[in-house]
Structure 1
Amino acid sequence: MPKSKRNRNGAIALLFLLPYLVLWGIFAFVPIVYGFFISLHKWNPIGTSKFIGFQNYGDLFRNPRFVGALWNTLIYAAWAIPLILLVGLVFALLLRRGQLPGGAAVEAALFFPYLLNVSVVGILWRFLLDPDVGIVPYYLRVVGVDPPNFLNSPMIVLPTIAVVSAWWLAGYRMIVFRAGLNAIPDDLYEAASLDGAGSVRQFFFITLPLMRPSILFAAILTLVAGMCMLGQVLVMTNGGPGTASEVMALFMYRTAFESFNFGQAAAVGFILFVIVFGVSLVLFRVLGLRSELS
């Protein structure tokens, strides 16, 4: 292709991208830069702000409550992210193979919770897990199991919220994985069967490699949801018992709107951004944007 034509095509492509780039700059890039700028100040939104450099960051890592919130966020993410992805992938595989009776009803039932607002999910499960009137503790007693106090036990409150998150979010990941599965030609599975490859080998050598773009998309989506989780824990536990379920987003909210320390809250947000961005880069490096068919 002549150089002049390539340049013209590049200019046309840039013209089509320009509206998105403008919106992305206004609503994403500028807020990130401005948030970092705020984090370097003792910020007063209605008065004079004082530049203090990285003091907010140093104060945070010397604050046991922030360290606890960071640790809680990582624990929750370590439970929730694999669980959400695994449940979505398992049901996508079962529905593709037709191994679930009433597949359409199962798919609809699994996707329906995703349509609910976070407040509805939190209130619903707070009621279901209530130690006095909750359905889940009641049926555990019926089968002879002494139910734990799910939302008031420091040891299990984060895994409990992670399970609720999987119930809420796995349906959308299932849809993403089903789209990835439907893009894989059936001829590959037939050829593998003729060569003697069983279901397990087909899964690891055909399904997973060809689903890399779908897995990458679902993983990053779930990573952001897991690391930035706020509404669910706010409604279900308000960070309790004590601070056992106080995650970074909730700590940031309280730092900004209860303590009015906006500079330190911005520092929390930027730390959260760096963690999510760094892990996303690792996922891009490991999984890549293309499947083996590309």
Structure 2
Amino acid sequence: MPAPRRRGQVRDALIFTGPFVAAYLVLFVYPTARMVLMSFTDAPLVGDGGWVGLNNYFRLGRDALFLKSVGHTFYFVALTVVPTTLLGLLIAMGVLRLRGALQRIALAAFFLPYVLPVSVVYRIWEWMLDPQFGIVQYPVRLIIGHPVAMWADPLWAMPSVAFITIWWTNGFNVLLFVAGLRNISQDVLDAAALDGARGSARFRHIVWPLIWPVTALVLTIQLILQLKIFDQIYLMTQGGPFNSTYVVVQYIYRQAFQSNHGGYGATVAVVLFAVIAALSTLQFQAVRARPA
């Protein structure tokens, strides 16, 4: 390739990628590096602090509230990641059975909650779960005989937040699965039908392997999102009752912004960042292979 042409291509590449690279360095790499450095100090949220080395990290192993918040976070992940993925796939398959305007209306109905801000979601469910007037309390009375203050009961608080989160965010998963299912060639499905593959057999041997890459993507996205759970917990339960819904990001918020322990808060944030990066990478590598 002639040198002038190559230089032109390099120049064009720098012009197109330069703004993104600059924004990435300024908005992600630099703050991340500063957070990691801050985690080795006893600095307040704003200002410098003394170097304490690995003391903050050693302190985490003795911090009962931090360990409890880790357990609650993984409990929330267990309640949401796999259920919302399977539910999204089932809804997508049901929506694609519809035709014309009815399909578009159903898809819009499932996606609508996803566009709502968390404050609106909180208000909707605060009314629906109200122990005296909430419409959800009617079936609860029929099942267990009395109303339940969901967000004030340690047994029900986390499952109720998990259920609301699935209701709120599952529309995005449905869209991904709809796109994946539509990408399956009709010729493949017709050929499977000619070979006698119908119903569950067609799903198990044809649809499931072909939709698996999308499933792996949805599982990874959900894992990352749910490990960072904060908004719903902060608005609905504030970590209660009795710290039964206290999660890691809320602990970071408490240490950094409420207690002004910036260095220790940064330490927790670094650990969470590392856990999310490691688990999401391992999960994606584990599930990216097609199922047998």
- Whether the TM-score (by the shorter chain) exceeds 0.5 is yes
Paired residue secondary structure (1:229): coil
Structure 1: how far apart are the matches of 2:104 and 2:245?
A: 36
Equivalent residue number for residue 57 of structure 1? 57
Contact 1:239–1:245 (8 Å) recurs in 2: yes
Equivalent residue number for residue 87 of structure 2? 87
**Cα shift readout 1:164-214 (whole Å, capped 9, x = no counterpart):** 001000011101111111111011111111112233232233223323442
Equivalent residue number for residue 266 of structure 1? 266
Contact 1:80–1:159 (8 Å) recurs in 2: no
**Cα shift readout 1:106-159 (whole Å, capped 9, x = no counterpart):** 222211111110111122212211222222113432577434332122122111
Contact 2:161–2:233 (8 Å) recurs in 1: yes
Equivalent residue number for residue 157 of structure 2? 157
Equivalent residue number for residue 180 of structure 2? 180
Equivalent residue number for residue 190 of structure 2? 190
After TM superposition, list the pairs within 5 Å mapping 1:83-122 onto structure 2.
83-98=83-98, 102-122=102-122
Q: Which runs of 5+ in 2 are unaligned?
A: none
Equivalent residue number for residue 252 of structure 1? 252
**Cα shift readout 1:6-55 (whole Å, capped 9, x = no counterpart):** x7798478534333222222222222221111111111355441111121
Structure 2: how far apart are the matches of 1:170 and 1:12?
A: 43
Q: What amino acid is aligned across from residue 123 of structure 1 in structure 2?
A: R
Please give the root-mean-square deviation of Cα atoms over the aligned residues, in Å.
2.9
Q: What amino acid is aligned across from residue 234 of structure 2 in structure 1?
A: L
After TM superposition, give the deviation of residue 236 of structure 1 in Å: 0.5
Q: Which runs of 5+ in 1 are unaligned?
A: none
Q: What amino acid is aligned across from residue 250 of structure 1 in structure 2?
A: Q
Q: What amino acid is aligned across from residue 43 of structure 1 in structure 2?
A: A
Structure 1: how far apart are the matches of 2:261 and 2:169?
A: 33
Q: What is the percent sequence identity of the aligned residues?
A: 29
Structure 2: how far apart are the matches of 1:149 and 1:100?
A: 42
Moved more, 125-134 or 203-212: 203-212
Q: What amino acid is aligned across from residue 280 of structure 1 in structure 2?
A: S
Equivalent residue number for residue 200 of structure 1? 200
Equivalent residue number for residue 133 of structure 1? 133
Equivalent residue number for residue 232 of structure 2? 232
Instruction: Tell me the TM-score normalised to structure 1 length.
Output: 0.88
Moved more, 244-253 or 78-87: 78-87
After TM superposition, give the deviation of residue 100 of structure 1 in Å: 12
**Cα shift readout 1:81-111 (whole Å, capped 9, x = no counterpart):** 1122122111101111339994333222211
Contact 1:128–1:136 (8 Å) recurs in 2: yes
Contact 2:45–2:256 (8 Å) recurs in 1: no
Structure 2: how far apart are the matches of 1:242 and 1:129?
A: 20
Structure 1: how far apart are the matches of 2:96 and 2:42?
A: 55
Contact 1:72–1:245 (8 Å) recurs in 2: yes
After TM superposition, give the deviation of residue 215 of structure 1 in Å: 2.4
Q: CA 1:208–1:23 in 2, change beyond 3 Å: closer, same or farther?
A: farther
Contact 1:125–1:236 (8 Å) recurs in 2: no
